[in-house]
């Protein structure tokens, strides 16, 4: 919880431990299908009445399935928080899961899969994610055409019983709130929520090597991934800052070298991706077929160059940007509640904005460069989608 | 008493400055709205407004492109730019202590050098952007539908331009366009959040007071609605995408509040008529209708995505649902829910200085007016079912131009 008395709004994020990592290996996409069914009526409301209630409260809302959780988020004018909490309690603890709407939900899930086939960047990222981490951490939430076609009402009911439970669940609330009132409201609505997770996750190795997906498109989609450290690691902010120098802002290395100087593409970026116990860096660019090889080579060269360290002025600019981002979080109850929920999941506690600001102040060029020299970027996997496979020889081997 | 204060000042050269100042805000948003876009282009320079927007970041008499980028980052700004049919907007969100630095920098880049060498490199980036949208749903159907609906109207042209028009553009043509459109009197600076308004005015009189002001005309005829159907085959697509455009209120029309609410009731992403009939049932993947307002004319734009085999069913269902709302109007409950939805969203959005800045700038550019958050809410609250019926009568949702693209080639009606 965080009190932000200067705002008019309050926002909540509820993480339920029904992430795609918990999908049975024979039924990928089950959490996603379940989330669709869960939103079709609960408690004393049918689905239409339920959504009408949310609209009456002015709730700006979303629901999504990540690898670790199913997430329900809503922002409302602050005096509606208690009502909206009670509504979400019904959704999570008393969904109707109406059997007669199973086929409609199946169509929704199938449509989502088909539309994703047309979104080439998404399609690439999906392949990339598989290669980031051991299974089940690289799974996408949408499943496959086959699995969605075979899911039964029994599967959905079982999934809710097993994973819509308070163990590993997080409720995070920020905005114009008073702690005591919110505690009382959460106690009242979620106080009797029971259950625990009964299954263990089994890790298996991700696919090795590079991969190309043939597709008749104007642009080639390029993805690069390599191992890094998770958010909970003591050196995380050093690793994160190095990637910031590589990709955050208009003066970052990738933007400057790939787009500004060479005009190779419109979109190019790299980012730290993190789950609880693993982390990696992923980089992306989309560019026309004939310029794809040069784009890949320049990206790899810039990523490897990080091993030689970064410069003082680059870090100074990055820190200014990050500071702005931290302070601007105070303008939004939604973004604050989302980051608090994510902190709790990844760290088991919340980093306050002051703590984050101190951590940022402590980061310095020397520490980053020591980290980079001990952990130079390597073990790249290159995934491409387009008319032609690319020469990946520059991705092999260690530091050059 | 609210501590939020609206300020307006016109520089001696005609440049308008509008600001909603809130001394308690954590950040400052500032944006230059240049009243120029694809509707101000001739066919042979189609795409020049957007290309110019990129070139503006490429250096000035006193700064290289690299310095521009570095300095935007040094002040920790979240900055970017975009181009639409009638605006080119350059914006920055910063911490309050950097607002004058950000202003100095944004003002400087609005008088760009337009070097030939940068022009050639950046042209490649624009061509990549065009290629990116070629590969992305709805694969150009949006531009095609606008062209069909507007026909020879200036709003029928694509913002990005085509490979051919952008490929053939010269920096001389761009300079000519810049000189014709970037007059001081054709630019509005909008600010919101923690704004030191007096310091802003003083700095701008000094820095940009010499910018020239000259006549920048724009034709704003009302469009003649067209109902055509066009189908494009794209065998590599998995889904069918349908764009439909019907006539709607213009930016200056009073009934645009009613039309916004009508859009939500008929085609919002959630809890709308299209949602319950098409999305909840799994018949379509996506179905949204939104009004867009321009000077002198407006549209309702619908975007549908479904399985190829269901295309005709979805087109027919759309017509049935549009026909139903056309003849029976909306219910009291639908209207009340749409109002609480829109009013809550106005309050939530207003918490961010940057989103407030866009709202204030847009309102000033389109109508020369300012409305507080409360006034905007009031205007939505006062809409009646009769107002919505009038919008429907004047702008029937059933009469539309449709473009379908995907694996299924449809018969032209």
Q: Which is nearest to A63 in space by CA: A76, A72, A54, A55? A: A72
Please check whether residue B239 is in contact with residue B262, taking contact to mean a CB–CB distance below 8 angstroms: no
Q: State yes or no: ipTM above 0.85.
A: yes
Nearest to B73 among A110, A217, A320 (CB): A320
Cross-chain Cβ contact B132/A255 below 8 Å: no
Give the integer Cα–Cα distance in Å for A227 and B143: 42
Q: Answer whether A77 sits within 8 Å of B93, measured CB to CB.
A: no
The answer, for B131 touching chain A at a CB cutoff of 8 Å, is yes
Which of B351, B357, B406 to mutate to test binding with chain A, by most A CBs within 10 Å of its CB? B351
Alpha-carbon gap, residue B413 to B408, rounded angstroms:
15
A354 interfacial to chain B (CB closer than 8 Å): no
Give Cα separations from B159 to B37, B43, B155 (angstroms). 7, 11, 9
How far apart are alpha carbons B267 and B261 in whole angstroms?
Answer: 10
Distance, in Å, from the CA atom of B30 to the CA atom of A37, rounded to the nearest integer, reads 44
- Partners of A135 in the β-ladder: A204
Give the closest residue to A298 by CA, choosing from A287, A313, A311.
A287
Q: Is the pLDDT of residue A398 over 70?
A: no
Residue of B nearest to A108 (CA): B282
pLDDT digits (tens, 9 = 90+) for B104-163: 999 999 999 999 999 999 999 999 999 999 999 999 999 999 999 998 899 999 999 999
Cβ atoms of A82 and A22 within 8 Å: the answer is no
Per-residue pLDDT tens over the stretch A38-66: 999 999 999 999 999 999 999 999 999 99
Which residue ranges in chain B fall short of pLDDT 50?
1
What mean pLDDT is reported for chain A?
Answer: 96
State phi, psi for A15 to the nearest 5 degrees. Answer: -105, 120
Q: Do residues B30 and B191 touch, judged by C-beta distance below 8 A?
A: yes
Q: Which residue of B has its CA nearest to A57?
A: B340
Distance, in Å, from the CA atom of A345 to the CA atom of B402, rounded to the nearest integer, reads: 47
Which one-letter DSSP state was computed for residue B221? P
Strands B401-406 and B229-233, by their bridges, are: parallel
Cα–Cα dist A103/A112, whole Å: 14
Specify the 3-state DSSP secondary structure of A195: coil
pLDDT at position B412 is: 60
Q: What is the DSSP string of A88-103?
A: HHHHHHSB---GGGHH
Q: Which pLDDT score is estimated for B64?
A: 96
Q: B221: exposed, middle or buried (C-beta count within 10 Å: 0-12, 13-18, 19+)?
A: exposed
Nearest CA to A384 among A215, A146, A270? Answer: A215
User: What pLDDT digit, counting tens, does each position of A148-183 carry?
Assistant: 999 999 999 999 999 999 999 999 999 999 999 999
- Helices (runs of H) and strands (runs of E) counted in chain B: 15, 13
């Amino acid at each position: 919880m965080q009190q932000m008395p200067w705002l008019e709004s309050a926002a909540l994020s509820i993480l339920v431990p029904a992430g795609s990592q918990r999908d049975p290996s024979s039924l990928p996409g089950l959490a996603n299908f379940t989330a669709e069914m869960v939103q079709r009526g609960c408690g004393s409301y049918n689905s239409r009445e339920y959504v009408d209630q949310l609209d009456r409260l002015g709730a700006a809302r979303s629901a999504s399935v990540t690898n670790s959780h199913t997430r329900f988020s809503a922002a409302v004018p602050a005096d509606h928080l208690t009502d909206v909490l009670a509504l979400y309690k019904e959704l999570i603890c008393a969904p109707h899961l109406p059997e007669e709407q199973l086929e409609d939900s199946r169509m929704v899930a199938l449509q989502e899969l088909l539309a994703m086939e047309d979104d080439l960047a998404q399609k690439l990222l999906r392949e990339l994610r598989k290669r980031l981490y051991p299974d089940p951490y690289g799974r996408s939430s949408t499943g496959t055409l086959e699995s969605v076609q075979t899911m039964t009402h029994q599967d959905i009911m079982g999934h809710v019983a097993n994973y819509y439970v308070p163990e590993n669940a997080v409720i995070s609330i920020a905005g114009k709130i008073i702690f005591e009132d919110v505690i009382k409201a959460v106690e009242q609505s979620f106080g009797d929520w029971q259950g625990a997770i009964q299954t263990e996750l089994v890790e298996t190795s991700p696919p090795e090597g590079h991969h190309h997906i043939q597709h008749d498109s104007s642009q080639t989609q390029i993805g690069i991934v390599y191992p890094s450290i998770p958010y909970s690691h003591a050196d995380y902010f050093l690793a994160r800052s190095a990637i910031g120098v590589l990709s955050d802002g208009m003066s970052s290395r990738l933007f400057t070298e790939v787009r500004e100087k060479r005009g190779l593409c419109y979109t190019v970026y790299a980012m730290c991706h993190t789950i609880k116990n693993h982390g990696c860096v992923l980089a992306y660019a989309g560019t026309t077929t004939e310029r794809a090889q040069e784009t890949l080579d320049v990206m790899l060269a810039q990523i490897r160059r990080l091993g030689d360290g970064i410069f003082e002025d680059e870090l100074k600019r990055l820190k200014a940007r990050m500071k702005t981002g931290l302070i601007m979080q105070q303008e939004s109850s939604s973004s604050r509640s989302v980051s608090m929920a994510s902190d709790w999941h990844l760290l088991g506690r919340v980093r306050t904005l002051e703590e984050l600001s101190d951590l940022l102040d402590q980061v310095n060029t020397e520490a980053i460069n020591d980290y980079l020299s001990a952990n130079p970027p390597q073990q790249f996997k290159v995934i491409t989608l387009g008319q032609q496979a690319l020469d990946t020889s520059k991705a092999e081997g260690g530091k050059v | 008493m609210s501590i939020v204060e609206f300020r307006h000042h016109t520089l001696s050269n005609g440049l308008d400055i509008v600001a909603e100042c809130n001394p308690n805000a954590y950040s400052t948003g500032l944006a230059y709205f240049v009243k120029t876009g694809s509707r101000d282009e001739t066919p042979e320079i189609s795409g020049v407004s957007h290309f110019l927007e990129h070139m503006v970041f490429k250096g000035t008499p006193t700064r290289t492109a690299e310095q521009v980028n570095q300095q935007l980052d040094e002040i920790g700004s979240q900055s970017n730019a975009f181009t639409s049919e009638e605006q080119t907007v350059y914006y920055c969100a910063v911490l309050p202590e950097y607002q004058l630095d950000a202003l100095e920098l944004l003002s400087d880049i609005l008088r760009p050098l337009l070097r030939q060498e940068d022009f050639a490199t950046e042209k490649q980036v624009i061509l990549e952007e065009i290629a990116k949208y070629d590969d992305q749903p709805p694969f150009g159907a949006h531009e095609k539908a606008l062209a069909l609906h507007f026909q020879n109207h200036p709003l029928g042209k694509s913002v990005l331009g085509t490979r051919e028009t952008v490929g053939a553009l010269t920096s001389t043509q761009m300079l000519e366009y810049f000189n014709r459109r970037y007059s001081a009197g054709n630019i509005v600076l909008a600010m919101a959040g923690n704004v030191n308004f007096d310091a802003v005015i003083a700095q701008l009189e000094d820095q940009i007071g010499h910018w020239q002001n000259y006549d920048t005309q724009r034709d704003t005829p009302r469009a003649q609605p067209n109902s055509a159907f066009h189908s494009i085959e794209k065998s590599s697509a998995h889904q069918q995408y349908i764009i439909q455009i019907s006539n709607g209120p213009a930016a200056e029309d009073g009934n645009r509040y009613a039309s916004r609410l009508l859009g939500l009731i008929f085609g919002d992403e959630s809890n709308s008529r299209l949602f319950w009939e098409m999305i909840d049932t799994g018949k379509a993947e996506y179905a949204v209708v939104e009004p867009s307002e321009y000077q002198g004319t407006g549209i309702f734009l619908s975007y549908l995505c479904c399985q190829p085999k269901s295309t005709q069913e979805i087109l027919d269902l759309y017509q049935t649902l549009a026909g139903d709302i056309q003849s029976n109007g909306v219910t009291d409950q639908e209207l009340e829910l749409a109002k609480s939805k829109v009013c809550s969203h106005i309050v939530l959005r207003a918490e961010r200085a940057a989103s407030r800045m866009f709202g204030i700038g847009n309102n000033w550019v389109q109508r020369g007016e300012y409305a507080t958050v409360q006034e905007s809410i009031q205007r939505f609250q006062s809409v009646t079912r009769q107002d919505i019926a009038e919008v429907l009568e004047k702008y029937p949702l059933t009469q539309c131009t449709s473009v379908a693209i995907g694996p299924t080639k449809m018969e032209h009606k």
